[in-house]
Structure 1
């Protein structure tokens, strides 16, 4: 079960290498992640990495837990009461996220409605030219 509030904790020793040393790390709540996703305009995308970077900047911490962020995106996507455009969140390499409602097929359908081209030829479905459509908050 995800926390309903944001938590700022000390980076665990086993994660210090990933975050580049000691400091504070954010465990974002689904509400905080949803607020950020809602700022992504139609016809634009955000990667899970960019979500973490933006949250890190907002909370002035050393890093944001990518696992907690991904779980928050999944919780948002699977909550039928939320009207958050979760399908605009993709992986850092442009790949779609299979754990969203409808899997890759569901995300492909929603992205195509916004004019994105999804390449399904390789092992992983990816948004073509996704870098051109990434949202910039600063």
Structure 2
């Protein structure tokens, strides 16, 4: 279940290698992730890594939990009343996410409607996605 409020916790010992450090980790709420994603303009993209890095800087912590971040993205994407453009968030390699209603096919259609090209196949991704990344400030 996605968090309704932000939590800052110690980085668990088993995650120190992933984050490359000890210290504090953000478990972002749905509202925090939604506020950042809402700023992505049409035809622009933000990777999950950029999203986490931006939140890490914003909250002055050493890392942001990727699992909690993905749960928040899924909650936003699956909220039928949400106008937050969660489909503009992609994987670090340009790959599409499966958290959206309709899966990667639906995300591809939304991105194509904004003029982005999708490389179809077993692992669909945005073609030349780095050209469309926002400056996340992270």
Shorter chain as denominator, the TM-score bin is: over 0.9
Relative contact order (C-alpha < 8 Å, sep 6+): which is higher?
2
Cα distance in 2 for residues equivalent to 1:26 and 1:126: 28
Cα distance in 2 for residues equivalent to 1:89 and 1:20: 24
Structure-1 residue corresponding to 2:69: 69
CA contact (8 A) 2:48 2:90 kept: yes
Q: Which stretches of structure 1, 4 residues or longer, exceed 3 Å deviation after superposition?
A: none
Cα distance in 2 for residues equivalent to 1:2 and 1:90: 19
Q: CA deviation at 1:32?
A: 0.3
**Structure 1 unaligned residues grouped into runs of 5+:** none
Cα distance in 1 for residues equivalent to 2:76 and 2:98: 14
Structure-2 residue corresponding to 1:5: 5
Question: What do the CA deviations read for 1:58-88 (whole angstroms, capped 9, x no partner)?
Answer: 0010000011101110000001121110100
CA contact (8 A) 2:50 2:136 kept: no
Structure-1 residue corresponding to 2:17: 17
- Length, aligned pairs only: 137
Q: CA deviation at 1:137?
A: 3.1
Q: CA deviation at 1:2?
A: 1.8
**Structure 2 unaligned residues grouped into runs of 5+:** none
Question: What do the CA deviations read for 1:20-52 (whole angstroms, capped 9, x no partner)?
Answer: 121000000010000000111111000101000
Task: Give the match's secondary structure for 1:52.
Answer: helix
CA contact (8 A) 2:48 2:92 kept: yes
Residue 27 of structure 1 pairs with residue 27 of structure 2: yes
Q: CA deviation at 1:99?
A: 2.5
Task: Give the match's secondary structure for 1:95.
Answer: coil
CA RMSD of aligned residues (A): 0.8
TM-score (ref. length: structure 2): 0.96
Cα distance in 2 for residues equivalent to 1:137 and 1:108: 22
TM-score (ref. length: structure 1): 0.96
